[in-house]
Structure 1
Amino acid sequence: MLKTSILIIGGGLSGLYAAYLLEQAGFKDYLLLEAKDHLGGRVYSKEQIDLGATWIWPDLNPELMKLIHQLSLPYFYQHTSGELIFEKQRDQPAVRISGASWETSSIRLEGGMQSLILALTKGISVDRILLGHQVTEITYLEDQSLGLKIQHSHGSTTQFCCDQILLAAPPRLSANEFAFNPPLPATTLTHWMNTPTWMAPHAKYVAIYPEAFWKQQGLSGQARSYAGPLGEIHDASTSHQHAALFGFFSIPYTIRKEIEPTTLMAHCRAQLVRLFGSLAAIPQSEYLKDWTEDECIAIESDWKTPTLFHGIAPENTPNQSIWQNRIIGISSEWSKKYSGYLAGAVDAAEMGIKQILNSNDHQKLREI
C-alpha cells in the first residue's frame, strides 16, 4: 500500500492549484490522482479556444487575477463591441440590437484557459501527479489513516493510504462515485447530491473561420436565440491567430443524446448562417464538447432532473463525524464566494490548504 500524507483527488484547476501551493511551501509528501489521461478538469481547449471554462472577470475575481499575474500569463479582453443579434423564431428575421455590451468586462487567456493549467503543472513535481487513477472507495482505517482503492485505466487496482484528502471533484459526483466506509453523514451526502455541478448539463459548439466576417457587418458576434440549437453565442476569436464563434446549446441532453454529433454541428452551422450570413456556412474547423457525457463531470441526475446552478456552497468538510477535516472539498462548488466559477476553484483550494494548516502539525505548510 502506497502511503503519503495528503492525497488530492482530481486534476482540474482546484486540484492543481492546491498541489502548486504545496510545492510553493516546499511540501512534497502528497500525491495528486487524476482519473483521466490528461489534466484540466472542466478546462478544455482546442486550437487555443475554450470548450469549457472561458472567462475571468478582473473586477469580480481579484484573487484569480493575482494568480494570473503571478504566473505572468498574457490575456486579452473579450470582444463585445458591435451589435447583438436576437432571434425569436426561425421563420422570423433576427433583430439587431445596438449597445448590447452590458456585461461586466471579462478577459480570456492567450492560448486558451489551458495555459493556466499548463503554467500550474510546470510548478508541480512530475512524480507527484498520477494519471489514469480512478478512486472508487475511501475507508477510515483502524490506525485513523484513510485508505483508498484505486482503479487503473488498464484495469488493475491498487491501495493508497494517507492522512488527509483534498477532494477536487464536484460534490455531487463525489457523493455518487465514491464509496465511503463508514458512510458519510446523511446530511452531508444530501447536501452534496443537491449541489448542481457547474457545466454538467451543458454543451458547447465552436466554429473557426479564416476571418471574423461578423465584425465587418458591425456585429459583436454575440447572439441570443429562442430558436436554437444554440441559445447563447459569443465571439470566440483569439487575439491574433483564430477567428471563431462559440455557443451554448439550449436544447437539453435528453434531446441531444438522440442526435449524432455531425448532425448537431450541421444544425449549429445552419443557425450561424441564419444569424451571421453565408460566410458562416463553411468553418475551417469545428468542435463540439458535451459535458453531460463526461463521466468525470456529470452523473445521471444532472440530465434527468437538471437544476440551475444556484451558487450555494455546501460545507467543505463533514461536520460532527470521523471524516471532519480528514476530507476537505476544494472543487469550485465548495467556494463560498465564487461557487461554480474558475475563481471558486482557486478560492476553495486556498481555503482547503489553510484548513489543513489549522488541523494538524504540517510545519512546512505554515509558510502558505
Structure 2
Amino acid sequence: MACSISQSILVVGGGLAGLAAAYRLHRAGLEFTMIEARERLGGRIFTAGPAGEVSNDGFDLGPSWLWPDMHPAVRRFADELGLAFFPQHADGAMLFQRSQEVEPERYRVLRQEPPSMRLVGGSGSIISALAARFPQGRIRLGARAISIVRTIKGVMVRFQVADGSFEDLETGHVIFAMPPRLLAETMEFDPAPDGSCQRLWRDTPTWMAPHAKFFALYDTPFWRPAGLSGAAQSMTGPLVEIHDTTTASGKAAIFGFVGVPAQYRRQGGGKAIINAAVAQLGQLFGPEALTPVTTLYKDWAADSSTATSLDQVGTGHPAGGKREWVDRNWRDWITLAGSETAAHDPGYLAGAIEAGERAAVRLIDRQIDKSVLPTAFGQ
C-alpha cells in the first residue's frame, strides 16, 4: 500500500548507524528525533577511561580497528568530521602460548597490508563528533522502544523511560538502527511482520554480541623495550587473542579477547575472568604485567541492549548482501539500519556507516521525489 510521510522521522538506536543516519537527515534539512535505550550514545562503540566512564581519550571496549584504505566511506566520514587515524602498534615479536607449562614462543610479526588503523581518541571520537553536530533536544537517552503500531497518520511508537513510565510518540517513519535479532526479541509490532521477515531478523547474528574483552592498563608499555609487539595468541586462555591497545596519547594498555564461552563466563563471574587474565599476561609478558594500574572488562553477551538469548553462542558473521529486511506491510513505515543489514562489511564500523546512510538516503530521495517530508532546519 502506497503512503506519504507527513511527519518527522524517529531514529531508534544511538549507535554509529543511527547517528550516521541522523547526520545525513540533518544535513538534508529533515526533522528527526532519536531515542536510545542506554544512558550514553555509541551502542557497541564504547571508549572508556580507567574507571569505566565514557572517555574522549580512552580504551575501546567495543570495536577499535578500521581499514580506511579498504573502506572509502570510512575515510570520507572521518575526513568530514575532522578525525585522525593512527596505526595499530605491531613493532616487535609476537608471542604464541601453547600451554601454561612451557615458555611462550616468539615469532616475527608479519606486516599487515593494509594496516589496521585506530581513531585518535578511540572509536568513541566518531560518536562525540556526530552528536556535537545535532541541535539540542533531538536525542533522548534512557528511552527503550517496546512497541510500534500502525495508525492513520503513520506509526505510534511506545517507549519506556528511566523512571519506568511509558510514553508514546507518533511519527511518519522509523529507522531501527539496531541489530535485527534484538529488534525481533524486544519490539512488539501491530500488525506483526510476516514469518519469513521475522525469521530473517532472528537468524542474523549480532556482531560482537557473544564476545567479551579484557584490558590491563599500565604506567608504561614495558613490553616494547623488551622487543615485544604486545600481540599474542594463546591455546590455553582465558585470553585467546591479545594486542597492544596503547592510545595515541601514550596511555599504555594490553587487551585481549576472552575465549571462554558466554555461559561459562556467566557462571564463573567477571572477577574470576579478570584474575585469570592478569595471571596469563604475567606468564606471557613477565612480572610487570601482574601489577596493572587497573583493569577493564566488558562482556557484551551480558549487555541486554546488545545481546539476546540467541547470542550467547557464537554463530558466525552476518551474511551481508542485499536483502529484503522489511515486508510489504511495513516497508513504507520502517527501515532497518543496524550494521548487520549492510550489504558490505556487515557488523563492522564501515557497515554501520553504510547502513545508516542508506536509510537516510532512502528518505531523502523520497522527499525529492514526492515532496512529502517537511524541512525543519537548514544545513
Q: TM-score range by the shorter chain?
A: over 0.9
RMSD: 1.8
Say if 2:26 and 2:32, in contact at 8 Å, map to a contact too: no
Q: Which runs of 4+ in 1 moved over 6 A?
A: none
Give 2:344's aligned residue.
337
Give 2:93's aligned residue.
83
Query: Are 2:265 and 1:256 equivalent residues in the alignment?
Result: yes
2:34 to 32, 36, 39: 32
Say if 1:50 and 1:112, in contact at 8 Å, map to a contact too: yes
Give 1:324's aligned residue.
331
Unaligned 5+ segments in structure 2 are 1-5, 50-57
Residues in 2 aligned to 1:158 and 1:8: alpha-carbon distance in whole angstroms: 16
Give 1:201's aligned residue.
210
Question: Alpha-carbon deviations, 1:263-288, whole Å to 9, x = none?
Answer: 21110001101111111001112100
Evaluate the alpha carbon distance shift between residue 108 and residue 182 of structure 1 in structure 2; reply closer, same or farther with a 3 A threshold: same
Say if 1:325 and 1:356, in contact at 8 Å, map to a contact too: no
Question: Alpha-carbon deviations, 1:126-183, whole Å to 9, x = none?
Answer: 2110111111101112x15111111111111111111111110100000111001110
Evaluate the alpha carbon distance shift between residue 115 and residue 188 of structure 1 in structure 2; reply closer, same or farther with a 3 A threshold: same
Say if 1:197 and 1:298, in contact at 8 Å, map to a contact too: yes
Letter aligned with residue 359 of structure 2: G
Letter aligned with residue 324 of structure 1: R
Give 2:53's aligned residue.
none
Give 1:188's aligned residue.
197
Question: Alpha-carbon deviations, 1:182-210, whole Å to 9, x = none?
Answer: 10111111011010001100000011111
Query: Are 2:159 and 1:150 equivalent residues in the alignment?
Result: yes
User: 5 Å matches for 1:117-156?
Assistant: 117-141=127-151, 143-156=152-165
1:61 to 64, 71, 81: 71
Evaluate the alpha carbon distance shift between residue 132 and residue 330 of structure 1 in structure 2; reply closer, same or farther with a 3 A threshold: same
Q: Identity rate of aligned residues, in percent?
A: 35
Residues in 1 aligned to 2:104 and 2:319: alpha-carbon distance in whole angstroms: 33
Evaluate the alpha carbon distance shift between residue 181 and residue 140 of structure 1 in structure 2; reply closer, same or farther with a 3 A threshold: same
1:113 to 115, 123, 148: 123
Give 1:94's aligned residue.
104
Give 2:315's aligned residue.
307
Say if 1:317 and 1:323, in contact at 8 Å, map to a contact too: no
Letter aligned with residue 315 of structure 1: R
Say if 1:237 and 1:244, in contact at 8 Å, map to a contact too: yes
Question: Alpha-carbon deviations, 1:29-88, whole Å to 9, x = none?
Answer: 210011111111001111211010101112111101111111111221110121111112
Residues in 1 aligned to 2:282 and 2:319: alpha-carbon distance in whole angstroms: 35
Give 2:52's aligned residue.
none
Letter aligned with residue 36 of structure 1: R
Question: How many correspondences in the alignment?
Answer: 361
TM-score relative to the length of structure 2: 0.91
Unaligned 5+ segments in structure 1 are none
Residues in 1 aligned to 2:105 and 2:242: alpha-carbon distance in whole angstroms: 14
Q: How far 1:214 sits from its partner (Å)? A: 1.0
Evaluate the alpha carbon distance shift between residue 314 and residue 134 of structure 1 in structure 2; reply closer, same or farther with a 3 A threshold: farther
Say if 2:92 and 2:227, in contact at 8 Å, map to a contact too: yes
TM-score relative to the length of structure 1: 0.94
What SS does structure 2 have at the residue aligned with 1:258? helix
Residues in 1 aligned to 2:324 and 2:126: alpha-carbon distance in whole angstroms: 24
User: 5 Å matches for 1:235-274?
Assistant: 235-274=244-283
Residues in 1 aligned to 2:356 and 2:15: alpha-carbon distance in whole angstroms: 11
Say if 2:88 and 2:116, in contact at 8 Å, map to a contact too: yes
Residues in 2 aligned to 1:355 and 1:26: alpha-carbon distance in whole angstroms: 14
